[in-house]
């Protein structure tokens, strides 16, 4: 193990979910630094498909969301289910311990088309059940954002299933960072550093003040051009 080795995150998420993953990357670096890690370097690359999550080094932590699949699940669930089963079983077959799959927050915004709302809720529920099923079958990690965000509530977070808004990004970012830490970073950090970070957990409940050395650390981020042009969801 080398403490100088960068923690490399690769993420496939919806355009409005990128802020949550960026928040998670920042919190991860800040939390480990506060726990005594020697200046951990965290990099974050966004990719445009789940198939692009593995990289040439083979040691990246892979974060994926089922959010981008909501539309496909609504249009043709049997086809979407078969494709997702195939794709995520293949990904988990390589390194299941390094694959983190996020559920979809089950809050649908109000609208005039009640039938469409019912279909949307059903698609989200099916996707979330699929995530659990894949975890049981393959050993991949599930980050249950639906359960975590439901504790706070969509009204307080001012968001919906697409996770738009600053409050939702912070809440989801805390969950993602905490899940990665809980799964273990033995390839990057000593067990002692991880234990101190996990025991404190204060860094997951709020923002580190800008005056602290850890707060000046920022992950290197790259993303597909399509994300930069994406508009926030309408609620």
Specify whether the CB–CB gap between 121 and 160 falls below 8 A: no
What pLDDT was estimated at residue 204?
54
The mean predicted confidence, pLDDT, of the chain is: 84
pLDDT in tens, 23-33: 999 988 888 88
pLDDT band at 60 (very low <50, low <70, confident <90, very high): very high
pLDDT band at 203 (very low <50, low <70, confident <90, very high): low
pLDDT in tens, 165-174: 999 999 999 9
What pLDDT was estimated at residue 126?
98
What pLDDT was estimated at residue 216?
39
**Residue of higher predicted confidence among 35 and 154:** 154
Segment 115-133 shows an average pLDDT of 96
pLDDT band at 219 (very low <50, low <70, confident <90, very high): low
**Residue of higher predicted confidence among 110 and 52:** 52
**Residue of higher predicted confidence among 114 and 208:** 114
What pLDDT was estimated at residue 189?
79
What pLDDT was estimated at residue 167?
96
pLDDT band at 37 (very low <50, low <70, confident <90, very high): confident
Residue 4 has pLDDT above 80, yes or no: no
Express as a percent the part of the chain with pLDDT over 90: 60
Residue 215 has pLDDT above 50, yes or no: no
Express as a percent the part of the chain with pLDDT over 70: 82
What pLDDT was estimated at residue 82?
98
**Residue of higher predicted confidence among 11 and 4:** 11
**Residue of higher predicted confidence among 55 and 63:** 63
Domains of the chain in start order, with CATH, are: 7-225 (3.40.50.1110)
């Amino acid at each position: 193990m080398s403490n100088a080795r960068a923690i490399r995150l690769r993420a496939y998420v919806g355009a409005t979910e990128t802020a949550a993953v960026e928040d998670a990357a920042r919190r991860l670096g800040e939390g480990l630094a506060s726990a005594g890690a020697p200046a951990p370097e965290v990099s974050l690359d966004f990719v445009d498909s789940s198939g692009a999550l593995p990289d040439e080094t083979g040691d990246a932590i892979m974060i994926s969301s089922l959010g981008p699949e909501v539309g496909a699940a609504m249009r043709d669930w049997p086809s979407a289910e078969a494709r997702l089963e195939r794709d995520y079983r293949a990904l988990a077959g390589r390194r299941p311990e390094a694959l983190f799959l996020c559920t979809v927050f089950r809050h649908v915004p109000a609208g005039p088309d009640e039938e469409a709302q019912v279909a949307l809720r059903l698609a989200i529920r099916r996707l979330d059940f699929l995530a659990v099923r894949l975890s049981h079958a393959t050993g991949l990690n599930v980050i249950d954002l639906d359960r975590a965000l439901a504790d706070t509530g969509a009204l307080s977070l001012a968001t919906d299933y697409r996770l738009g808004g600053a409050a939702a990004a912070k809440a989801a970012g805390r969950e993602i960072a905490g899940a990665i830490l809980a799964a273990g970073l033995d390839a990057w950090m000593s067990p002692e550093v991880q234990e101190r970070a996990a025991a404190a957990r204060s860094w997951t409940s709020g923002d580190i003040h800008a005056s602290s050395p850890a707060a000046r650390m920022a992950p290197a981020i790259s993303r597909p051009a399509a994300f930069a042009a994406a508009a926030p969801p309408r609620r």
